[in-house]
Chains A and B, each alone.
Chain A
């Protein structure tokens, strides 16, 4: 246990900054895509970089990006009308 208090403070500061940046970026990206930004943001605070990779895989690869032209939220390809802004897409 003693080894950990010998870890220099600046290292903790760096780790905290990395996690903060990751969390904020994921939060912002999720809000642009219409995802649940609060959950994703907290998720992004937990672990770096694995949680970032998970986020990217889920949003970019598995749920393929298909942004609505008007409000740029992600919508499924089968939709004819955007559920967020009502614009015709299909």
Chain B
């Protein structure tokens, strides 16, 4: 934690190496989170890079009151939402094609099968806000309060979204 604070101070002053180290340390978390959300490696790489761009541009604005990874994950969540909205602008026919392609890609692309498990495939059917809450809780162990900050919603909403996911998963299992 100390190390992160020291690196953060240097990075805010413009030291590129410190910023690189911080980004490298958090790469796995961001990538893993986005991969669970999208189950598509290409999109995940693109959004991960966009998260880093935003982080580099706004590093001076980060107050350091939470962990750096939490801040990065909230950036990732927002960018993922924007990405969904952009792809929703395509016509509905194309959306169907895309979702068919996506589910085929889950089988065909060279993803390491360990990283995309049964549950994550099932999660793809859920609306994205509920998916995010579930992933943040079960994979990353964020508290209700932290999830609320990341997803910008009250704690009650976080609980109901988690409950929704658990109920649906139970019915699918």
The short answer to whether A and B are in direct contact, CB under 8 Å, is no
| B-binding residues in A (CB < 8 A) | none
| A-binding residues in B (CB < 8 A) | none
